[in-house]
Amino acid sequence: MKQRHILVFFISLLISATVNAQQKKDTVKRKESYGLRVGVDLSKPLISLLEEDSKGMEVVGDMRILRNYYAAVELGYEDKISKEDYMNYTTKGSYIKAGVNYNAYKNWIGMNNEIYVGIRYGFSIFNQTLNSYTPNVKGTYFIPNEVLPNTEFNDLSAHWTELVFGIKAETLKNLYLGFSFSFKAMISTKEPENFKNLYVPGFNSVYLNDTGFGVNYTLSYLIPLVKKEK
């Protein structure tokens, strides 16, 4: 009888310890990293190496501000010669895009990957140079005959918005590869009287309905700053 009481006591003690351990485990708060992630758009230097007529660089950054929200910014410049059927022109300028991303991906413990949707406001200042063109044809109908080749148009600008879809995946510790696609809509643009802004740094080619598209491939590094309880 005594041995039975001792056995029941130890079983009760084991059950109690297991329940307490589980409760303690459930109350432990998981911590997630909040930091600054900086990197570059890999596509622009690659295009610069492959194409003599295109030079550019873009620096990207984002910072986690809330659990699923990230402030994001992109800074860049472009120096590009565009060759159309009846026209050749050079665009030089810089741009900034700023906005926020929402991460829809539910990470496992210790992960910080993203599948996100975001919005951006973009602003660019640039110059255009009309290198050559064939007058009185469909592709150059907007250029009056009195405009001479090698005419430079300065102090141009553009404002636009973007809807962005993208992913960021950690490949090594704190090192991320990313891909994104963006749909752009022009808000306003300062154009010369005798030429149209057919290409805008940061916006890319401007279509007839004042929309555009963009794709980038990024390599970035996360600098952990703080850890917050989930």
Residue 23 has pLDDT above 80, yes or no: no
Q: Does 229 reside within a domain? A: no
Range of the domain at 90: 35-224
Number of domain units in the chain: 1
- pLDDT given at position 140: 63
Q: What is the pTM of this model?
A: 0.80
Q: Does 24 reside within a domain? A: no
- pLDDT given at position 47: 87
Q: Which residues contact 163 (CB under 8 A, 6 or more apart)?
A: 117, 118, 119, 182, 183
User: What integer best gives the mean pLDDT of the chain?
Assistant: 84
Distance in angstroms (rounded) separating the CA atoms of residues 176 and 61: 12
Q: Does 23 reside within a domain? A: no
Q: Does 96 reside within a domain? A: yes
Q: What is the CATH number of the domain that holds 196?
A: 2.40.160.20
- pLDDT given at position 3: 47
User: What mean pLDDT is predicted for residues 166-190?
Assistant: 95
